[in-house]
Structure 1
Amino acid sequence: MGGIGKTTLAQLVYNDSRVDNHFDLKAWVCVSEDFKMEEITKSILRSVSSESSNAGDDLNKLQTELEKKLVEKKLLLILDDFWLQNYDDWSRLISPFGVGTTIVVTTRDKTVSSMVGTIPDYKLPTLSDDDCISILTQHALGAKDFSGHPNLGEFVVQIAKRCKGLPLAAKTIGGLLRNKVDIGKWKEILKSEIWNLPEERSNIFQALRLSYHHLPADLKRCFAYCALLPKDYEFTEEEIVLLWMAEGFLRVEATKQSEDLGHEYFQELVQRSFFEISNKDDSRYIMHDLINDLAHSVAKDICFRVEGDKALNVSSHARHSSYIGGRKDRIKMFQVFYGKKGLRTFLPLKMPEGWRYISNQVLSELLPEFKYLRVFSLQGCYLTEFPNIIGDLVHLRYLNFSGTIIKTLPDSICKLYNLETLLLRGCSRLEEFPSEMRFLINLRHLDIRGADSIKMMPMGIGELTNFQTLTNFVVSQDNGRKIREMENLSNLKGGLVISELQNVVKAQDAWVAGLCYKSNLRDLALEWSYNFAGEEIHKDILDSLQPPKMLERLTIECYGGETFPNWFGDPSFGKLSILDLYYCPNCTLLPAVGRLTSLKSLSIRRMSKVKKVGANIFGKDLSINAFPSLERLRFQDMPEWEEWDPCEVDENVRSFQHLHELIISNCPKLLGSLPNRLPSLKKLKINLCQQLRSLPSCLPSLERLVIQECEKLVVSLSSLPKLSDLEINGCQEVSSTSCANSGSFIERVSLSDISKFTSPMEGMMLGLIKAERLFIYVDVRS
């Protein structure tokens, strides 16, 4: 049965910390009815390895590669929503997995369960009425029960019974009644005729349809449009909002931006459980299969999906289309599009790895028919150029060439005066823009992330004052492309990278850009070229590029100044949570960032002239607790760093109180001392610090310790009561009175290349009772 909670239960298991500790690798694959063994195998490969596969669609090569990745590894594999009933295919699918693999399958089909099971299956029961009441009130009233609203009690009980023990139904109806405490609304839902409609898929579809029925009209249209999304397709909020905007679904008053309304609509559908956060990536969303079926049902003839060679009977009234094709999409697949002259949307989705090859005949024959297109995408297609006919699609609002290999855009694109969104992400060979792009006066979103061959911005880019998204600004010395062109781009939001800053000749030009006034920027990266990292003018330029106070993330790369400007580290940047300083070769002093109250992550890398980290980084007033929110700290590739003075003179001053993770890598001259009082530290990793002699003395929360190639370091395990994961490869001495660590037991141990190892054998063995892995190689040299 759908909607009973199979996937939710599997997610709870998958995300449990105890499961993380037990398995080396995890993979989650949504299988659904469209079973493709190659795609499933590739999905598992992507989960267990960060390296891209060269096996293509060759199943034998894919499985051989997967088998190699799993040698001596413990894998948890979830196969969600499994329908396959062919035992030979099942046997082939699982052939790469050995004894270290545990497979959990969720399915609605008892036949499938019998075929794949090696232990008795677990049939998830429906919920009790009390549990349904709990879910319903949690989503409707934000409470575990209705005790706070006793007048609603009768209606809560009756509606919960109508949900027939199905959590998705209770959750969806709860979303419909969210924050509604008026009896009339609850009575209206209870008495709705939709509950009595015949539906072969059980009561849950009536509950879902009821939730849709009570959506506002504009939200109904936005939700129905999502019928274009294939099952198990993961999408971002921004992706959907931009599509809604292009279709004209977001009608706003003059005081509100379309995008803001779109985000409100999207979150409303999240609150009502039409969209759910993906269990694999919390920045993406997914629709439950039954919700997807509902969208398809309510969209009727307006939306259609082309999936492979499936036969379709498409209405002449169809307006929106998506297609899920293969690597080579020939003209036959697109026969269904002929004659659909009223089409508004042409959207390829769910592309497999690699290029999608689309016939030139498709473009030359179909595009002239699609004169009313608002949304057009060729994302991921193997295209080196695009015909000028694109300029005839004058109604286009949304154009996506991301992931193609085009070198230039057709000049005719500059005639698309209605264009709002232009996506060129990952167009690595794109070198330049058309000369008259300044005429695209309605352009609001330009994404050129990963289009690293672009050397300059479009001429007159400063005239495109409707920009909200501009992912990169490549600075040039040419008029019309200088950094001062940013002055009038006052509506920029989200993230922005300003690169090639060595082309700023005058600091005054940087000040004119007015970054500090662009209050909606949240993520900013300022980058100079590696070849120009030695110029002192950089400090004046950086001083003039002071960001807005609401900034949340800041990256500085290849900065050539010896010191940082005064605004750096000012506590007025109260939202700044991530700071990354990379390759500042002339810098001798780190900036005073210890007073940034929201800073959670600090990364300092390739600062080749820094010799001491001390009071300068904490700030002027050492009586104030520095780094009050810092959780992650990394120092890497600092060849001259010798001393870390933690300034722990005053017992009442506590810095780094919330630090969870500390990484020190390739700092060969560092002697110490590291901060001693790190009460919250859970992970400590130190490698290639050949002169370091001791670790912090007080690490009561440390769970994972990794030491690599620190020849003079002496490691004491006696004061690490929560240590569970220990890896030491290369150090002077390891000592411990007992590895048992006050009743806590180490689960994973790897010790090698240690000059001296001192620990009572009884205590050591006692501490390793729970060890799942043990590797000790001791070379006693003295």
Structure 2
Amino acid sequence: MDCGAAVVVENIISSLLETLSEELVSPMLLEFARKEQLHNHFNNWQTILHKIQAVLQDAEERQFTVRFVKIWLNDLKDLAYDIEDVLDDFSTVALRQKSKEESQTIIGKIRKYMYSFFDQFTFKYSLAAQIKEITARMQKVAKQKDELGLIERIGGSRNRRQQRIPSTSLVNKSLVFGRESEKDFIINKLLFGEEESCEVGVPVIPIVGMGGLGKITLAQLVYNDDRVKTFFELRAWVCVSEEFDIVRVMKTLLESLNSTASDKNDLNGLQNEVTEMLSKKRFLMVLDDVWNENYNDWMALRSPFEAGSPESKIIVTTRNQQVASMMGTVSAYHLKEMSYDHCLSLFAQHALGSTNFDNHPNLKVVGEAIVKRCKGLPLAVKTLAGLLRCKMGYHEWEDILNSKIWDLPEKNCDILPALRLSYYYLPSHLKQCFAYCSLFPKDYEFQKDEVVHLWIAEGFIHQPKGLRKVEDLGS
């Protein structure tokens, strides 16, 4: 199973388990459980499901290196589908019972009891067998979870890290608005910042800011400026990311410096190569997206950099002030929100292919309102503009503006509300629709209606009460 298919499986399982947890506490099934004395069984199922959900992220990551974890995930998927079938059967019986009870007179109920005693006995026996089988399988899967050493990563960052695209040094300057003064400030630090140089090594300039402010874009603008290219003999860009791997960083650095991939995995050999390449050279290095707060790791990483010229510089981008304080040798540059006017131009460029609304005056007011809600965060602006790029209807733009997702609390959450919209705009049980689309071969040409009908056939789309048709929701 390749990485893409594996993520599809995990995504489907996650959505399935969420749906099952919701069904187990639905009013109809709770009433059914009360009548048939199934409360304890349903509570047990709910507890096991929660324990399994807590380790899904760890299982997703380990399935690529541990074959039995991959088997465990496939078994879990089969079990989830079977539980879904059983709950559907229970819901059908519960609905039938409720319908009959409401339509029958007292005489009819007595007659029904007399004639259906045998049927009731058969049903009770079948019900008990299904409960017993599912419970045994769930307990087995839960036990295997422990045997495989899967650990809880609720609220962890592994999933986000795998989904994030590593940064590169390339930038399309025509799509960048504002940040000229910020760029010039950093460049002056690089070229004329000797007075702030640290006595213990290469000066490190941290760029600090929350996610979505444009730290990477600012570093890209600086890195590709002609003045910087002329001044520094060597330049290198490394995306460090959340999982600090010093061997990977060194290999990426070598490849960035000499355009040749290294097959070495020995840290000592890699660092000696880097030291030799940087020796006496004036270099600029960008270490992007740094999260590691371990001082000893930083000391180990930076040791080869001391071989360079004293005029060398290092730029670090991070969301974490502690990282900036640990690594920085000069005052950190705290990136601020982008101006409203620049955000508006950025939004129009990505949504309409123009820097203004002259060709779409009907969208100007709602577009301005959306940009205001982005609060100066360029990544949020670009994300929403991308969502609306193929939507030219006023009401489609208004739907984004009025979405309740803006009102979600941001405390202890580093995902911007505007960025949530790109994935969470639909209810959670519809996320598997995206995973389902990835099962199609690359470049496969399909019709929208075809996909919608496949989603409906798979049971991915649930029609909200009193709202649009299920086909419209799928569309």
Could you say which TM-score interval applies, normalised by the shorter chain? Answer: 0.3 to 0.5
Give me the TM-score of the superposition, normalised by structure 2.
0.45
Higher RCO, 1 vs 2 (CA within 8 Å, ≥6 residues apart):
2
Tell me the TM-score normalized by structure 1.
0.28
More helix by share: 2
